[in-house]
Amino acid sequence: MQKWFLKNRNAENYTAVKNIVKDDLLAKVLCNRGIVEEEKVIDYLNDDYSLIYRTEGLPDLELARKIIKDAIDNHKKIRIVGDYDSDGIMSTTLLLRSLKTFGADTSFEVPDRKQDGYGINKRIVDGCIKDDVSVIITCDNGVSAFEAVKYAKDNDIKVIVTDHHLPKIEDGKEISVEADAIIDPKVEKSSYPFKDICGAFVAFKLITYISKDYEFNADLIDEIIQYAAFATITDIMPLLDENRDLIKRGLELINSRPAKAFYHLKNELKVDKEINVFHIGFILGPSVNAIGRLSNANHAIAAFESYDDDKIIAICKELYALNQERKDLTELGYEVAIKEIEADENFPDKDVIIVKSKDIERSVAGIVAGRLKERYYRPAIALYEEDGILYGSARSIEEYNLFDELSKAKDLLSGFGGHKLAAGLELKLDNYDKFVTFINNNSNLTDEDKIEKIYIDAFYPIDFQKFSIFDTIEKLKPFGEKNPDVLFADKDLVLKDISVFGQNRNVIKLKFRTKLDNIMMAILFYKEDELKKDYEDEFNSDIYRDLASGKEIIMDICYNLRINEYMNNKNLEINVKHFRFRR
């Protein structure tokens, strides 16, 4: 269920903003997004990449610089310990490429998702001891790795933590790891003005800071900006402040002179258009993430940092194959979860969706949970069962703080970690029923909380859309987390016909008659079966039968604008994001 709201924020600033931008729609959208001061408006609409290189306020950069310089000057070994997701892969590649350019004796290791779990651990430190490593640099992990960091320190290894996750808090106090340097915008001693940067961007800041000691050519800077931008998109960081500048610059570079990793990746995945946030978020990014989910991310990093075309092409082919496998596993897990949910007669009374199955592959549990959350607009936990243990992931809605609620259930869990909207957890199968009962009995979600809120930028009949509107929208890009695409709405459209395309029958062309008696087409990316079910649930009737009989079907829609290019022809496309039927 959804509620739609037409945004009208900062209406008192509209005239002033319009005087700056000279455009009605642009002024309205900027006001709705809280961008009203003249300086912020100008900064938002113009390219200023200086913030990308900002380092002031990040803690322990000077300590880290001295440790790294000593290691390079005295030929000591450095090992980078990354993570298996896209952010971790990009962070590790970025640090490797840069430190090797500076002359460092640098190696790397990423934990295996299934064997090791997340972050640096004792096994990895043992490998460092065996290989006579003097300095460990973590990236996208480490801020809560108390045992592993202490073990490294006890064995005379210096540790630099670069991370972007929240530190551990006990009784309202921050508990710090015993690292020699902790570079994380979220720790207490940080005065960095913008907290929401990804692990690869933190690593980029470290390299930016220490580069004054070394030869650092422009080509390498342009390359590592691409890694940081790619990770910012795939780690779903808010596209605000310096993140927005980073993405704009990163996309420029990926499209004009891409790093070899991205050049070959887009070729293997057959992305022949200009790369944008969508391509990275939904095509390239999931393929990079797939190797960490289903194989070992070390292979990808070794290929990416080698700059060997044959190695990179081979790993890109593997990424493509693994991502296809990931899609199949996700679809199977999602279908199994839906069947379990719809077979549960008590489901309507439950605030939190919790499903378990041996058919929900552990590596895709987070994706399954995310899809369940989107479908039902409730917090969702998907669990994989193996040898009496349940491993899983959780995804939440804004109204439900996952980390806080799992903390209350910690006595039933073998372990958990995460934040407000996403978490990982582990529990014994014997505790499953108690856990389900506890989580739902202690939920404070109201019926209103479980209604998805859709915020519309402007009511704009589809009859009046034209290319000049799209030109205005272009000024607001790049779109992504916290900076969404402009959402329009239209109402009282008469549905005249439906055409379904795609191997999975999930591309639907809608033919409308508007209030001005125009015939207009729109595209909806939605499964045909789900569309039919939505209509049947609403009217207890079949949508195709009603269309054939001439029964009037009214739809209201929320939509974005797209440019569809085919055979050198450009057409404006209405892309339906939300809809509702009326009679």
Residue-wise pLDDT for 118-160, tens only, equals 889 999 999 999 999 999 999 999 998 999 999 999 999 999 9
Place 569 in a pLDDT band, splitting at 50, 70 and 90: confident
Calpha distance 329→304 (Å, rounded): 26
DSSP assignment letter at 22: -
Strands (E), 34-178: 77-81, 105-109, 133-139, 158-162, 168-170, 173-175
Q: Residues 502-527: what's their mean pLDDT?
A: 94
Rounded CA-CA distance 531/195 in Å is 40
In the structure encoding, which two tokens stand for residue 305, read together? 């940092």
Coarse DSSP helix, strand, coil percentages of the chain, rounded to the nearest 5 percent: 45, 20, 30
Give pLDDT, residue 393.
93
**pLDDT on residue 114:** 77
Q: Residue 133: how many CB atoms within 10 A of its CB?
A: 23
pLDDT in tens, 254-305: 999 999 999 999 999 999 889 999 999 999 999 999 898 888 899 899 999 9
pTM of the entire structure? 0.90
Asked whether the CA dihedral 149, 151, 152, 156 is positive or negative, the reply is positive
- Around Cβ 499, how many Cβ atoms within 10 Å? 10
C-alpha to C-alpha distances, 236 to 158, 285, 351, 502, nearest whole angstrom: 31, 11, 25, 28
What confidence score (pLDDT) does residue 257 get?
95
Q: Select the more confidently predicted residue: 566 or 50.
A: 50
The pLDDT of residue 55: 97
Structure confidence at residue 171 (pLDDT): 84
Is the pLDDT score of 113 beyond 90?
no
Calculate mean pLDDT across residues 471-493: 94
Note the maximum CA span of the chain. 83
Residue-averaged pLDDT of the chain: 94
Mean pLDDT, rounded, for 544-561? 95
Q: From residue 265, how far is each of 90, 268, 276, 285, 314 by CA, in Å?
A: 14, 5, 14, 10, 10
Residue 377: closest CA among 358, 360, 401, 352: 352
233 has pLDDT over 90: yes
Structure tokens at 550: 């001439």
What SS3 state is found at 556?
A: strand
Report the pLDDT value the prediction gives residue 267, as an integer from 0 to 100. 94
Per-residue pLDDT of 15-42, as tens digits, reads 999 999 999 999 999 999 999 999 999 9
Q: Which residues contact 519 (CB under 8 A, 6 or more apart)?
A: 496, 511, 512, 513
- What confidence tens digit (pLDDT) does each residue in 342-394 have? 898 888 889 999 999 999 998 899 999 999 999 999 999 999 998 899 999 99
Q: What is the pLDDT of residues 409-432, one digit of tens each?
A: 999 999 887 778 888 899 999 999
pLDDT tens sequence across 435-471:
999 999 999 999 999 999 999 999 999 999 888 998 8
Q: Which residue has the tokens 């079907």?
A: 553
Closest by CA position to 355, among listed 340, 370, 366, 345: 340
Strand order through the sheet with 77-81: 105-109, 77-81, 133-139, 158-162, 181-183
Which are the contacts of 418, defined by CB distance < 8 A and separation ≥ 6? 394, 402, 403, 406, 424
Confidence at residue 53, expressed as pLDDT on a 0 to 100 scale: 95
Give the N- to C-terminal CA distance of the chain in Å, as an integer: 18
For 487-501, write each residue's pLDDT tens digit.
999 999 999 999 999
Residues of the chain with pLDDT > 70, as a percent, come to 100
Give me the pLDDT at residue 118, please: 83
Alpha-carbon distance values, 111 to 206, 226, 325, 362 (Å): 22, 24, 21, 16
Interval 156-193: pLDDT, tens: 999 999 999 989 888 889 999 999 999 999 999 999 99
**What pLDDT shows up at residue 583?**
77
**CA 136, chain centre distance (Å):** 27
What integer pLDDT is reported at residue 307 of this predicted model?
85
Q: What is the pLDDT of residue 14?
A: 94
Q: What is the pLDDT of residue 269?
A: 92
Q: What whole-number distance in Å separates Cα of residue 208 and Cα of residue 82?
A: 19
pLDDT of residue 57: 97
Q: Which of 531, 539, 545 is nearest to 576 (CA)?
A: 531
Domains, the chain, ranges and CATH?
Answer: 3-10+453-582 (2.40.50.140), 53-217 (3.90.1640.30), 344-442 (3.10.310.30)
| Rounded distance between C-alpha atoms, residue 161 and residue 304, angstroms | 23
At 227 the pLDDT is: 98
User: Do 402 and 352 touch, CB atoms closer than 8 A?
Assistant: no
